[in-house]
Structure formats: C-alpha cells, structure tokens
Chain A
Amino acid sequence: MRAELQRVLFVGFLAAFSPWTLATFAQQPEVPVKVVQIMGLTGVKNKTGGKLTVDGGNLHFVHGAAKVDVATASMEDVVTGADSQRIIHGTLGSIGLMAAPYGSGRFLSLFRSKLDTLTVKYRDADGGLHGVIFMMPVGKAEVIKKELLAQGAHTTAPEEAANAGASSPAAKEQKQ
C-alpha cells in the first residue's frame, strides 16, 4: 500500500515538473502583464501605463477605468522586438546584440535591453490600418504574441529562431 502511494506520488511529481507541463504553464498569461502603451491605441494617450491580457479572442488594455479591446482576428501582424532584431541582423546578429551593451552599436534598438516591445498592426471596422507599440519586461512579449497567434492573429515574422538559435554554432560552442 505504501509502495503504491509512493509510486503515485512519484508519477505525479514527474508529471507536474516535466518540461512539457512547465512549458504549458509558462505560455499562459493568466496574470495581466504590466505594459506601457507607447503609441497607436485609439483613445489612449501616448506613453500610458496599463495592464494587458489576451482572452476570448481579444487583446485587452486596461488603464484605470478605461478599457480598450482589439480583436485578435483583426491583427495582421504581431512582431516582438526580438523578431525585429532577427529580421534585421539574422539569428547570429541577434545573439551578438543581446551580448552587446547598450550603446555599443545597437543603433536600431529603440528601447533598453531590459524592456521588450510588442508591435501590433490591426484593421478597424472601416478597414483602416492601425499600429500599436507596447513596451514590457523582457520575455513577456513572446508569451503574449503566442497567445495572440493562438487566438487568430497573424505575423509576418519568420518562424521563431529559438530552435535555430539552439542549433547555431554559437549555441553549440556554449553547450560544449
């Protein structure tokens, strides 16, 4: 009986802390993400702080009593700051940039390295194209982007190079 209980606990422990389960938990932004809306959101002033969530096919930006929703289906392009760097410099270039201190040639990065950006292009009811820029802590943009894509948004950024980065010569060298 005791051995069986131990076995159940062991299997439960393995299931709870398996990489698959952890990855699934990591991709769920249950907690609203603190962001700064740099510009572009209709009815919201530039550089307004607020909280961002993705739920029910909408991106919600909440600032005090004000709430703005953007339908994920209307999003034509969702790009993170890391995507931009990858498009411009390539995967190896992005890795080099991550290692470089701010101001040592990072001329195209608009924000400091401890902050990430999420740029969303979407259409309004009349077909007008809008662009919104959010600034948030590093790592959050990728999570929100994945959530938006899962709920019907689109992106023009090439497939995430995380895997490519892992198999790049630089990454291999670090592993050895």
Chain B
Amino acid sequence: MNNLEIVKAGLNKRYAKERRFKFYGIFSISLSMLFLFFLLFDIGAKSIPAFTQTYINLDIEFDKKLMKLQDQDSYSEETLFSASYSKLGRNALYKLFPEVTERKQKKALRQMLSSGARYDLRDAVLENNDYVGTTQNLWVLAGDDIDAFVKGLIDRNIPEADRRVKDYQVEWVDTLEAQNKIERRFNINFFTSGDSREPEQAGILGALKGSFYTMLVTLLLSFPIAVSAAIYLEEFAPKNNWWIDIIEININNLAAVPSIVFGILGLAVYINLFGVPRSAPLVGGLVLTLMTLPTIIISTRAALKSVPPSIREAALSIGASKMQVITHHVLPLAMPGILTGSIIGMAQALGETAPLLMIGMVAFVADIPQSILDPATVLPVQVFIWSDSPERGFIALTSAAIVTLLVFLFFMNLVAIVLRKKFETRW
C-alpha cells in the first residue's frame, strides 16, 4: 500500500470522529443553555404565586367594646393606635358562619385570616377615625394556608389528613367564593413591607433598602480607592520593582480568594477590632469594598492601558504635567471602560451572600433600615433566610425575591453592555 491508500482507508473513520466531536460540542452547549433556561423557568414559575395575595371581604364591626375603648365621641390618635383590633376580624367571621360553634373549628375559622389583619384594620381606623362604632365592608388579608389553597398550591383531592387545610375550611372557602367574598389581588405588601415570620405579611422593602445602603457604602469607598490604585499602578509605579510586583500579585490573588474569607476578615477586624456595629450596612459595605476592589482595579487598568500613547504625548508636548495629562485627558477617555468595570463589580457585590452571613446580616430584621448604622439584611441574604423557613408560602416569596434580584442584576449588566458598546473606541 502506498501512503494515499493508507490515508483513504482511515478516512471514513476519521470523518466520523470529526462529526462526533462536532456533535459533542453542540450537545454540551445545548445542555448548558438548557440548564440555564430550566433554572430561570423553574424559579420564575415558583415566584408567580408570591405576586398575588388572597383577601376576604368582611363586614367589620368596629365595636368599641371589642376594641377595648371607653365610650367617647372622639379618640386621640394614641388611643386608637393602642386599641385592640385582634377580635374584630374573627368576630366578623363568626357572624358570617354562625353555625360554627365547636372550639377547634372556631380556631380554624380564626386562622382563615392573617395574624397581620389586625394591623391593617388599625391602619384603616387611623386613616378614618369615624369608623369607630360603625360597620364597614372591608377586604381583609387571608392566612397563608388559605392563601396557598386559593392559589391551587394545596390540592383539595388529597386526603384531609395530609393537607394543611381541613375539609370544613375548604367548605368555608367555597361558600365565600360563591358569594364573591374571596379575591386574589396584586401583592403590594411584598414591595412595601419588611421581613416577617408570616409569609403573607413578609416583604422585601427592608432587604432592598439594606442592599441600597450597603451598595452605597461599597460604591463610595471602592470606586475612588480602586481608580486611584489603578492610576498609580498603571501610570506612576516604577517598572520592574519588586514591591510593585507584590502589590500586583496581591490584587490578582485577592480576586480569587473565597468570599467567605472576606467575611471572616470583616468579623475579626471590622467588628471585633474596630468595633463597627454588627449587622449594619456599613460593615457589609466595608467587606464588599475589599471584594470589589480587585475587579474595579483590573478593569480600570485595562481601560487606562487602552488610551493610546499619542494622546499622552500630545498633552505632554504642550507642557502639561504628568498629573494633568492623566486628570485632563487619560481619565476622561478611559471613563466608559472604568464605569463598565465598576458596574460589573457592583453587580457581583449585589449578589454576594456568604461574607455577609459572617458579619451578622443574617439576623431577623423586621424594621426597615433608615441609615447605614441600622441593623439590616440584603436581598441575597433575605433569599437565604427565606429559603430556610419551613412555611410553604416562603418558597414563592424566595423565588420572587430571586426574580427581583435577577432583574436588578440584569439591568446593571445591561447598562454596562450599552455603555461599552456606545463608547467603545478603536484607536
């Protein structure tokens, strides 16, 4: 056999191998994309129930006795605030279903309403002082089991013992539905309230604000420090100097240090050594600053490097000092690249969870933080806290919080991409 025959003999086999390899490539890419879509679809689908909430229409009788108010014509704001509202909702339910007399069933009836309903009623009274002593037709928040049932998350066909909603409760819901007294509405609560132990009352405003304050601290600290460091390393640092090398190795290495180690740094140095308050956005921002620095430094250096030497030389030649060249010419030209890198760094920081667990931002905080020193939590940590909660309603809430987080991240990255595309200059 000559060479040609040898080649020809193996050719089919080799072409088959080629096709196989190509198929592997397409297969692995499709698999990865499939995973991504499955992930997004799964979480998206789970989040849908969280965006609506079940309300029950009741004739609430604002009885002075039930509210533990003295018989007066008008009341001060303070008395109304401290009045008792817990019995109003259940009383209205008892009236609606007078046939319920047994203790256990009465309790189940009470649980049709959210334990937070009383606060809604209080707010209604504080807004309209003349409600006291009258009967008003109001929509009241339902309890989480009823909510899940109305949303179809609890199947009525499974045996009573296996589901959290009892048969008589199902009956009541059906009765209410027949009278159009039960309704699903957009869950405004989710965006306007803080964390709660009850899924139907929990919202993400506290976490959103905590994230905002934390990001604010991170941005204010990391942006100037990172840009200054990058300018020094790129423009002023002596070349081939061993301690500049150490700084550079340090920066590259810090970019790859596990995030939880930064959390330990925060715990040991910021909290225990410097006494920064625990759980506060301030300490969270300080930790995230250290994590974001390498990202911004590396991208800022790339942006500075991409400004052509001709511009520097032109400025130098008409008598600008080195600092003037940088502040007047190089920095403005590099700014789009710097901003893109910073936004990507901030997006990373926004999704970071593990280091914040270390510094106590995982604590249950129901109040909405008002400053960088208040105890707070952030959006990804809120996701973690909720995903740990046993109540069924929290699955949807967790997914909804993730969707919110992803929407923010998506927009930040979109801005970064648009910025890059719009100001991309090829010299």
Partners in one complex: no
